[in-house]
A and B are shown apart, each in its own frame.
Chain A
Amino acid sequence: MTAIAHRYEFVYLFDVTNGNPNGDPDAGNLPRLDPETNRGLVTDVALKRKIRNFVTLDKEGGPGYAIYMQEKAVLNNQHKRAYDALEIKPEDKKLPKDEARAREVTAWMCANFFDVRTFGAVMTTGVNAGQVRGPVQLGFATSIEPVLPLEISITRMAVTTEKEAEAQSGDNRTMGRKHILPYGLYRAHGFVSAKLAERTGFSGDDLQLLWRALINMFEHDRSAARGEMAARKLIVFEHQSAMGDAPAHVLFDTVRVARATDEDRPARSFADYRISVDAEALPRGVGVREYL
């Protein structure tokens, strides 16, 4: 497993129809909003959670693809995982023992856990070697246009407790609420550092798995709250060198998302947007590829 040798940046577009992509615990689970612009937000950690869940389903905890940060919901792999024992030799014998030990621990975690290798993890050790900085970094996803959350009231033809039933004298009904966005197209930016990948052993296969996860993760994340979510575009910039050949923001600026239909009317589907990549404006040494 050789680490990747190029720096990457990616633009990831996904949309939601009649659903809540990411609830805000501060606002009673309303979809997250940027209060100043009314644009929707999806946090980086929400996307990472879905990537982890996809990898769990895809690899079923195969050797090297265990997931450290787990949700119970995806713990259907109770079988003992096949596992290849690693013989790790500390690279430098001259280091003090505890640091070498910490490195060994870190290396073992990276080799066995996809999410540690990809996103990093914090391990408490006396020396400061127990922190893994992962090569993959995601920013917050922001909706292209302001979104308007709707509050939908729903009824349930049942109650939870006897007491409630008595209070309603047998008319067993309760009301609930759902928050949805009629439509929202979100854009997230991501970064993959080849130099940090060297340290964690994040390989080309891992990168392909990451792209696959981004493309397919909503297909395995259906729920009553989410509505219809779909990955719409994954545009990847590959630099020739490990350090990169252009500023990330310059690359991101080449991807434009514009309205294809009348801007005064609210967008309700992906067809209302037009995505263009200005390949002319790409700096030398940077390739662009649309994976989706």
Chain B
Amino acid sequence: IAESTVVDPEVRAHVYSLVTALGGFNGEDADKYVLGDDALACLRDIKRWLKLYDEKYNRMDVARCLGEANLVNGDLLPILSTFAHSKKQTKYMSRIALACLEILVPLTWPLEMQGEMMADNFKHIPYLQHSHVAYKRGILNHASTGYLRTIIRIGLPSMAIPRPERATRDEGILKLMLFFLRNIALITPNTRLAAEGDEEETSRSATINAFQDQDVFALILTMCSNVGDDFNMQDVALLEILFHLVRGIDVDKLFMDDTQRTAKRTDELDDLLRKESSLRREYAKNAPTRHGRFGTMIWVKRDDAKYSTVSGQSVLKDDQTTFQKMDESKKWNKPQFRRKVQDLTLYNDFSTPVHINSAASENLRKFVEEFLDSGFNPLFTHVRKAIEREADRVVDINTRQFFYTVSWFLQAERARRARQREKRAQSERPGKEIEPDSFGLVASVLDQETFVFLNRAMQYAVDNKDWQDLTAEMRCFTQILLTVQDMVQSPLEEDQEIAENIQNRIFYEETTHDRVIAIVRGYTDQGFGYLNACTELSHVFLRMLERYSKENVDMQVRSRRRARRKQKEAGGVVEGENDEEHGSEDEDMLEAERMSKERSFDFRRFAAKFCNQKCVDTFVSFTKHYRELNTEQLKRAHRYFYRIAFKQEMSVLLFRLDIINLFYRMIKGPGALDSSKSIYKDWEELVRQIYRKLTRKLEQRPALFVELLFSKTNATTFYLEYGHERQTLPSV
């Protein structure tokens, strides 16, 4: 009953009759798929239904019927298999195969759950998500036919034609082929729906292995390295395939060899076991030593002759457990306001880690290395230009994909270099001179055009509150900075010079500095991906800028604000005069704003801009995740708080009870950091020093007892830190 009401019965009847007429497994040989007499026309009709009903009226009814009729696994794939195994290429069969591809692409197209869609469609989406996964499973799990290879075979004749002679139809076929591969790479089982069958069969590992086995990687490499000459229109589709292949995969793990990876895995398992045992130990410490009805109860004597009662034996042990239990027994929770999830499409999420098995790691790594050697520069230059000139094939999401993919591959290049260095260091003959590699392989994203593009994109994302885009761009910027840092240490003089040049360009613009600060200050509730990216960016940016400004003592930056303020002062003098002059005066003002001045750069003053409540709050939100953070991330937070408390002498910013409480939990528990790790010692020492400062400050200035509750204003901070008012006005 349900089935018939979901879709208009007439539509269903039409679609079913087409699927039935297409062909089937009935004939003399039951194993052989027999095409119906009018198979090609049926396929074209099905395509027409998809186009003229689903697409035109913005529905998903036909797609749903085709899913229920099992068209893909029951008909299209067997037909493609017949095509693949046929000895001689008939024109009819290749047309049939192409018609299959033309249906497969819309049937596997990503399901967007965006606003404009008809409300009606939402009921189809879970079903279609399921069927997408089933399609992917059918396509990847070939018994005798490599379907991906077959699809490539459909496109090969068009590929072979040189671009100037290629017809629109050929370009269309190439597009279809690439979008099919993109769709296959993209389909992921929805974790919110119950899994059907083995998830491993449609995982990223399975995709990568199939891509390797069926020469899809070879195809991608060929197209990427010739993107400027023969495959002008395919750049964006290639970018999308790459994005969906690599998103979420840990670069460092990818570039380990098997023994290292096993060791790393053992370490991780070891870590997890230790975490679990420490959890258990902690529980055992506070667990009751008698049975559950032993019934202990204590009084907590408070001032004003008041008492609180707390029950349970554990509370006898110490104050901390008693107080904690008092707190836990409260039932009311402060209402939380959560940001609505803006991006409903799972496909573009790159912050969630993805794990792949060792065979897939090996395959992907080989591909990545070859891509870096041949395809990186041509592809990314071409895509950047396409996005910049807003070519028709570009959609909004491509910008995000571009920056994320660039950052991923830059990181991969750095990981590869690190691994090579390691290998050379370990090799038996250290005396042998090896020609050092230049950074030319990734040069295309280190040019001035890319920086301009990146800067503009970041500013646009900040202005439009596009947090996902901004996260990708921050990661890209961080990786560029780290790559440049590696270049500085390159043995090649040319590389060093270029790196110097790039740093000069990056650090010359004061707007870049201000933007980094604005981003860190701008965190409210954009999620962990943003938090991780912005703290990493600020960490890397600050450290590199510090080093660079030390080496270049007379560093200059292009500043805009000073010019503006002078103009304002000048404007104040003439304000009393007649209004007619105001028009031109405003123009002068604008001109002055645009005018920029060079001034010498003072790192200390720049670093001081990170010392405010907003930035501290961002890092505190980051540190709140301390139980899930890795050593590198914990170190990042540690360095920041160290800078606040001791380098900039602004420890007052940390004297707020929730921060003090957080630090206490990190060290003393419950749920403390693993005390056997070295990073624990660093934190323990830092927190101790901060606490020492705190107790001293409380003695000196009792007003802090109240101010501990609040975020402090600038004037208050200054007074609490130094004991007097700020004498001069802070210069901007």
A binds B: no
